[in-house]
């Protein structure tokens, strides 16, 4: 038996025991585990981390502690075990080494995650959907999906984000892929309307599927954009997932019309009450040729959301990611294979879900060759696109970059009504400038308060 497999089996058995122990009494055993970690740690720095974790888990006012306890109580035992092993052991410990090996062998940068669309079809049609400009009749064949995932796992990618179209219109294929690739995590963006009690039970049995369900706000806003009755179906889907013990959260796009609602405490409290453990916030990006710039959240609304998310992080037991404003945590843009990339339902290999340009199609090439896409290499050469990571994006924050990269690599438009990069990017310069000024002020405030807190420590 190869040493790596033997080692991972020992690690897996120990991790499963540890997860079982914590699940028995999360309130008490999270603290105990952190204390044991502190005793076993050799490095002073690791001892300090363990002490901080133990203090955090002992503080029942700490919202991260409360989120961890809530997750452990809410999730089914099978989900805790499978997801724990996949996230901590496979994606966290074994994959980085495999990625490094893959990088040395093939001379490419291997990302952490792949976003892949099994279908362009959807049972809803929402205003401003980033996928609405694709040819919506396409499905990716099962063999290609399976091949991409197998090739990805071989080079250390164990995290698949699934989008569309509505991926659950191919529910059986999705479940079959998650079963076959059970050492990887599947994070599915869905409109939730097809998640029944029975399906939720199947996801719980698999243990490696998590969901982000789309909403626009409360019932009025959600039904206005997505169709009558959709909000209630989503509430039911969340109940089904919670009852089955499957991890899930919300996904929401903030626009000029709903930013104040999605950024309200009432709304986030509803999501927490429904059982959401996480949430994705996206700002509306005009991807199409006739995209409505007036639908974009204003720079001031983006600032409001940034401040709300920061406040929630210290108050609310939910993990909320704000895809653009959180560039600080990822040192800017993550696309183009740096941390992730997107394969649409036609097979086009794109840098990001919001960048509909490509040089390659996965149906005609291997995954490793696709990672050598000229547009990806151009991305990686120029990242970060701005020294202020609150201005990470080459589409909305630095539109001159996307236009330049698409032109230089002669990437084709993957939309059914091809839009040139100039057509897409040029109208965004005004927005980028205004947001740039706001973001630079926020950065200056942040830098000042960091410097002051360091002086206090000294
Ligand atoms: S291209 Fe823009 S939206 Fe895509 S990952 Fe980079 S910053 Fe985010």
* pLDDT over 60 at 349, yes or no: yes
Q: What is the DSSP letter of 126?
A: -
Q: Are 365 and 374 in contact (CB under 8 A)?
A: no
Nearest Cα residue to atom 7 of ligand 1: 393
Q: 139 alpha carbon to ligand 1 midpoint, in Å? A: 25
Q: How confident is the model at residue 5 (pLDDT cuts 50, 70, 90)?
A: low
Contacts of 92 (CB under 8 A, 6+ apart): none
The answer to whether residue 9 scores a pLDDT higher than 50 is: yes
pLDDT of res. 3: 44
Ligand 1 centroid to Cα of residue 45, in Å, is: 34
Cα-based distances in Å from 353 to 56, 163, 179, 211, 328: 36, 9, 25, 17, 20
pLDDT at 71: 95
Torsion sign, CA atoms 189, 195, 198, 201: positive
Check residue 100 and give its pLDDT.
95
**Residues 248, 271: Cα–Cα separation, whole Å:** 10
Number of alpha carbons in the 13 Å side-chain half-sphere of residue 385? 27
Listed in sequence order, the residues at least 6 apart from 291 whose beta carbon sits closer than 8 Å to its beta carbon are 128, 424
Relative to the CA of 395, which ligand 1 atom is closest?
2
Task: Indicate the helix (H) or strand (E) that contains 381.
Answer: helix 374-382
* Strands (E) located in 168-299: 185-190, 209-215, 248-254, 278-283
Place of tokens 């999605």: 262
Query: Which ligand 1 atom minimizes the distance to the CA of 340?
Result: 5
Contact (Cβ atoms closer than 8 angstroms) between residue 334 and residue 394: no
* Cα 254 to the center of its chain, rounded Å: 16
* pLDDT the model gives residue 1: 42
Q: What is the pLDDT of residues 76-132, one digit of tens each?
A: 999 999 998 898 888 878 888 999 999 999 999 999 999 999 999 998 877 656 565
Written as one string, the DSSP assignment of 7-32 is HHHHHHHHHHHHHHHHHH-HHHHHHH
In this structure, what DSSP letter does residue 182 have?
Answer: T
Going by alpha carbons, the residue nearest to atom 2 of ligand 1 is 393
Q: How far apart are CA 201 and CA 218, in angstroms?
A: 27
> Ligand 1, from 285, 327, 335, 340: best to mutate by most atoms within 8 Å of Cβ?
335
Name the token pair of 4. 């790596």
With 70 as the cut, is the pLDDT of residue 290 above it? no
Q: 354 φ, ψ to 5°?
A: -100, 0
Buried b (16+ CB within 10 A) or exposed e, 341-374: bbbbbbbbbbbbbbbbbbbbbbbebebbebbbbe
Ligand 1, atom 4: nearest CA belongs to which residue?
A: 352
- DSSP state for residue 337 in the 8-state scheme: T
CA 334 to ligand 1 center in whole angstroms = 6
Q: Please give the number of the atom of ligand 1 that sits closest to the Cα of 332.
A: 7
What residues are in contact with ligand 1 under a 6 Å CB criterion? Answer: 323, 333-335, 352, 354-355, 392-395
* Helix axes 230-244 and 219-226, enclosed angle (nearest 10): 110
> Ligand 1 test: best mutation among 113, 285, 323, 327, most atoms within 8 Å of CB?
323
Please tell me the distance from the alpha carbon of residue 425 to that of residue 115, in angstroms, as a whole number: 23
Of 287-291, 417-421, 446-450, where does the model show the most confidence? 446-450
- The larger pLDDT score, comparing residue 422 to residue 47, is at 422
Alpha-carbon distances, residue 236 vs 192, 213, 241, 423 (angstroms): 9, 11, 9, 41
Question: Which of the residue ranges 2-16, 31-45, 221-235 has the most confident prediction, judged by mean pLDDT?
Answer: 221-235
Residues 411, 404: Cα–Cα separation, whole Å: 11
Residue whose structure tokens are 């990470």: 392
Substitution site in 352, 357, 398 for ligand 1 pocket (most atoms within 8 Å of beta carbon) = 352
Dig out the tokens for 413 from the structure.
């438009």
Is 8 a residue whose pLDDT tops 80? no
Pick the residue whose CA is nearest to atom 5 on ligand 1.
335
């Amino acid at each position: 038996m190869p040493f790596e497999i033997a080692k991972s089996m020992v690690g897996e058995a120990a991790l499963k025991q540890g997860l079982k122990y914590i699940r028995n009494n999360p309130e008490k055993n999270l603290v105990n585990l952190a204390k044991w970690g502190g005793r076993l740690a050799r490095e002073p720095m690791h001892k300090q981390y363990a002490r901080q974790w133990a203090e955090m888990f002992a503080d029942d006012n700490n919202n991260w502690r409360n989120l961890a306890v809530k997750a452990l109580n809410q999730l089914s035992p099978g989900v805790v075990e499978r997801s724990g092993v996949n996230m901590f052991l496979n994606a966290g410990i074994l994959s980085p080494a495999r990625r490094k090996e893959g990088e040395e062998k093939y001379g490419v940068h291997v990302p952490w995650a792949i976003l892949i669309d099994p279908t362009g079809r959807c049972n809803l049609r929402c205003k401003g959907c980033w996928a609405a400009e694709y040819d919506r009749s396409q499905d990716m064949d099962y063999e290609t999906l399976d091949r991409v995932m197998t090739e990805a796992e071989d080079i250390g990618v164990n995290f698949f984000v699934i989008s569309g179209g509505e991926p659950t219109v191919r529910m059986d294929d999705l479940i079959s892929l998650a079963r076959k690739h059970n050492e990887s995590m599947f994070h599915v963006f869905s409109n939730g309307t097809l998640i029944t009690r029975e399906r939720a039970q199947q996801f719980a049995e698999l243990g490696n599927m998590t969901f982000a369900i789309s909403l626009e706000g409360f019932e009025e806003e959600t039904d206005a954009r997505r169709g009558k009755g959709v909000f209630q179906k989503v509430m039911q889907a969340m109940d089904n997932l919670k009852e089955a013990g499957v991890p899930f959260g919300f996904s929401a796009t903030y626009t000029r019309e709903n930013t104040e609602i999605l950024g309200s405490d009432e709304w986030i409290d509803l999501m927490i009450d429904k059982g959401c453990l996480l949430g994705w916030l996206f700002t509306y990006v005009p991807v199409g040729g006739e995209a409505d710039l007036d639908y974009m959240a204003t720079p001031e609304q983006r600032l409001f959301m940034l401040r709300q998310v920061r406040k929630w992080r210290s108050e609310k037991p939910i993990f909320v990611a704000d895809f653009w404003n959180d560039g600080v945590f990822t040192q800017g843009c993550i696309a183009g294979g740096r941390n992730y990339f997107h394969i649409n339902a036609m097979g086009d290999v794109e840098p990001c879900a919001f960048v509909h340009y490509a040089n390659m199609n996965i149906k005609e090439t291997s995954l490793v060759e696709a990672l050598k896409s000229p547009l990806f290499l151009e991305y990686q050469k120029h990242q970060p696109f701005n020294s202020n990571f609150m201005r990470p994006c080459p589409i909305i924050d630095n539109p001159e970059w996307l236009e330049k990269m698409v032109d230089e690599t002669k990437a084709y438009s993957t939309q059914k009504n091809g839009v040139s990069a100039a057509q897409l990017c040029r109208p965004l310069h005004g927005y980028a400038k205004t947001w740039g000024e706001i973001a630079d002020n926020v950065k200056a405030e942040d830098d000042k308060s960091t410097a002051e807190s360091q002086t206090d420590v000294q």
